[in-house]
Structure formats: C-alpha cells, structure tokens
C-alpha cells in the first residue's frame, strides 16, 4: 500500500507539473463519478494527508483519492492500462495529463469539506508545515496501552502516514519487537522520532529507503525479506502473513535482535549503526 511519503511525492509532482493548467477533457469511468465533469476547470494544486490525496480545482471541488494496495496515478505519462482500469483521466492544456489506474477510493467533494476526512486521522507525518512532535506521537501510540507496536503504528487514527514498510523496519532499526506492547517501551518518543525522520527524508528523496545506502533506490532492512537471515545477527528471520497478525498486515522480525520482554528500551546505538548514513539523521525530530 502506498504510504505517506509516496502520497507526498505524488502530490508534489502533480503540483509541480499540472497546477495552473486548464482541464480540456475529463473521462470518468468510476461509477461514483458518473455524470461528473471537470472540463473547463483549472487545476489549482494538490496536497496529501497521510495516505489520502486531494487534487483541487478552481470551481471549489477536490478529487479525493485513496490508493489502497494497487491504485496509482500517472502524471503526464502515457497509461498502458486497459480502459476499465483507468478510472479517471484528465487531459490538460499543453499536453499535461493525470490518469488514475485501479484507484479503489475516488470521489469529487467540496474542497471545504476535506477536513471531514482528515479530522478522523492523526497528525500527518509528511505535512509541509512540519512534523508532529515525537512526544505527542508517542502519547497517541499509547492510546491502547497493550496494543502491539506495529499495529499501533499502522493505525491511521493515531498517526497518519506510516505503512507496512515503516511498521516492519522502524522496530527493527530500534531493536524493539513489532509485538511489544506500546506501554512497555521506554523511549517510545525516540522510536517515533526515528520513524518520523525516515518517512520525511524519504518523501524528499523520492524513494522508500530505510538503510541509508543506495539512496536513489527503494531499499529496506526487513520489509519483504521473508525468512532470510537477519542482516545484523545472521539468525533466521520470523515472518507472519497478514492473516496471522492482530493488525492484519504481514510482518518480518528477528527474535534475537527484537526480543519481547516485560519492558524494553529503544537502542539508539543500534539506530546510529544501522542508519547513521541516512539523511534522516539530519531531521529535527531525529533523537539526539
């Protein structure tokens, strides 16, 4: 599922390439958009909040989208997807285009009502105005004290933007089990700071990189590794598919590096060893 950094990158790309252009033709193939028309409007700007995208037009309406697992937008690029997958197509002046492929949540709303969607979410990790305070983020993660760490990170009502990449990798980087109850983690605000710094730095990099090497590529410590050896200690990793986790998403972790205990602390020495070369360490929220 595209995460907060991916949506921020997408919104910035739409803003940079298409803002101020007039929509010359719009094609709506999604039944929820049947009979709606955007031709003749001007695309004002685009913004993201967590995993939600808002594309705004000068008639006071916004195209709201959530990509879930498989949705994507092509910005001024030819779409080769079959017509039935191209749920919305906007063709703008000077050859610009915006094509939504297999986007599962798509609607036209009044721009003034966007807050009705975002009010249900926690603070936006990739907000242009600045990051949420890690102390506040830790307090929100502890809303349910016995919730497992990765499940709490994925709850968009608490904090908006982290997805499965960060729910796998941030606990590993910090040496904390994804199954550790949040209220038993000392220094949870430090973990929140690491996760916030990573997702914000990646939103600028344009890639989901949690390792600090090969920065112009997607590269992760845990996400997608399955049962291969741990890249730190060499022990075989543990993996559970989404049907076997309390939070409904797959997880990979190392029982040696990330043991569950009555109380655990965030290992900042380990954090520095694993991501000391990542631009995230220069973010204001990165723990000192």
Question: Is residue 30 a contact partner of residue 107, using CB atoms and an 8 Å limit?
Answer: no
Kindly name the residue from 21, 51, 87, 225 that is annotated as catalytic.
51
Output phi, psi for 210, to 5 deg: -115, 5
For residue 201, give both structure tokens.
């730095």
d(CA 203, CA 186) in angstroms, rounded, equals 28
Per-residue 3-state assignment (H helix, E strand, C coil) for 79-117:
CCCCHHHEEEEEEEHHHCEEEEECCCEEEEEEHHHCHHH
In the annotation, is 51 catalytic?
yes
User: Annotated catalytic residue: which of 2, 134, 178, 287?
Assistant: 2
Is residue 146 within 8 A of residue 181, CB to CB? The reply is yes
**Which alpha helices (DSSP H) does the chain contain, by range?**
4-18, 115-118, 134-141, 149-154, 164-174, 188-205, 268-275
Query: Residue 50 corresponds to which tokens in the numbers above?
Result: 């967590």
Distant-in-sequence, close-in-space partners of 56: CB < 8 Å, separation ≥ 6: 43, 44, 45, 46, 47, 62, 63, 111
Q: Which two structure tokens, joined as six digits, stand for 38?
A: 């955007």
Cα(first)–Cα(last) distance of the chain, in Å? 31
Choice among 61, 200, 225, 249 that is catalytic: 249
User: What is the total residue count of the chain?
Assistant: 288
Q: Please list the active-site residues.
A: 2-3, 51, 249
């Amino acid at each position: 599922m595209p995460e907060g950094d991916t949506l921020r990158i997408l919104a910035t790309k739409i803003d940079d390439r298409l803002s101020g252009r007039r929509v010359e033709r719009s094609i709506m193939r999604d039944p929820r958009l049947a009979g709606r028309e955007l031709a003749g409007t001007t695309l004002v700007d685009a913004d993201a909040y967590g995993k939600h995208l808002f594309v705004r037009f000068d008639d006071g309406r916004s195209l709201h989208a959530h990509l879930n697992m498989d949705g994507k937008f092509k910005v001024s690029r030819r779409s080769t997807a079959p017509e039935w997958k191209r749920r919305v197509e906007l063709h703008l002046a000077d050859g610009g285009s915006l094509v939504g492929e297999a986007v599962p949540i798509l609607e036209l709303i009044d721009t003034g009502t966007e807050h009705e969607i975002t009010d249900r979410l926690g603070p936006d990790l990739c907000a242009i105005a600045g990051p949420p305070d890690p102390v506040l983020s830790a307090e929100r993660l502890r809303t349910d004290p016995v919730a497992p760490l990765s499940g709490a990170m994925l709850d968009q009502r608490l904090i908006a933007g982290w997805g499965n990449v960060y729910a796998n990798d941030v606990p590993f980087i910090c040496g904390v089990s994804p199954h550790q109850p949040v209220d038993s983690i000392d220094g949870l605000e430090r973990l929140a700071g690491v996760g916030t710094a990573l997702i914000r730095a990646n939103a600028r990099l344009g890639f989901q990189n949690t390792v600090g090497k090969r920065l112009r590529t997607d590269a992760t410590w845990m996400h997608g590794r399955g049962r291969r050896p741990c890249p730190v200690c060499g022990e075989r990793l543990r993996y559970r598919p989404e049907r076997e986790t309390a939070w409904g998403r797959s997880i990979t972790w190392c029982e040696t590096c990330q043991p569950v205990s009555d109380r655990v602390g965030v290992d900042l020495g380990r954090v520095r060893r694993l991501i000391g070369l990542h631009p995230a360490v220069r973010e204001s929220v990165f723990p000192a």
